[in-house]
Amino acid sequence: MQMVMAIIKPFKLDEVRDALTAIGIEGLTVSEVKGYGRQKGQSEIYRGAEYAVNYVPKVKLEVVLPDEQVEHALEAIGRAAHTGRIGDGKIFVLDVARAVRIRTAETDIEAL
């Protein structure tokens, strides 16, 4: 099992969710996060005054998958989240040692 974690632009969330649903991925966790990468934040104008925004709003998706679904998920997320502009985001893949469904005590793949 592996966890796929993607940090994407907020307006791409529905497209990414639809792409994952289309390949049979039924559940995911979504968090609103802030951060910065190469763009180092941005400048905004509010009531005529310019000020720096050090952290850019993003959305973080997390989904734990069987190993055989990971590549399909990476392709789907990458395709759906792509705009071609700086700040499109990142995808990380982490190993997951155990999973337990609390309600039924099912473990690992059965818990997903």
Residues 6+ apart with CB under 8 A from 99: 1, 64, 107, 108, 109, 111, 112
pTM score: 0.85
80 φ, ψ (degrees, to nearest 5): -75, -30
Which pair of tokens denotes residue 33?
Answer: 């996060």
Q: What is 2-111's CATH number?
A: 3.30.70.120
Check residue 106 and give its pLDDT: 95
Residues of the chain with pLDDT under 50: none
CB 112 within 8 Å of CB 99? yes
Check residue 47 and give its pLDDT: 67
Check residue 46 and give its pLDDT: 60
Check residue 7 and give its pLDDT: 97
Check residue 85 and give its pLDDT: 87
Cα gap 63→29, rounded to integer Å: 6
Domain-by-domain residue ranges, the chain?
2-111
Check residue 87 and give its pLDDT: 84
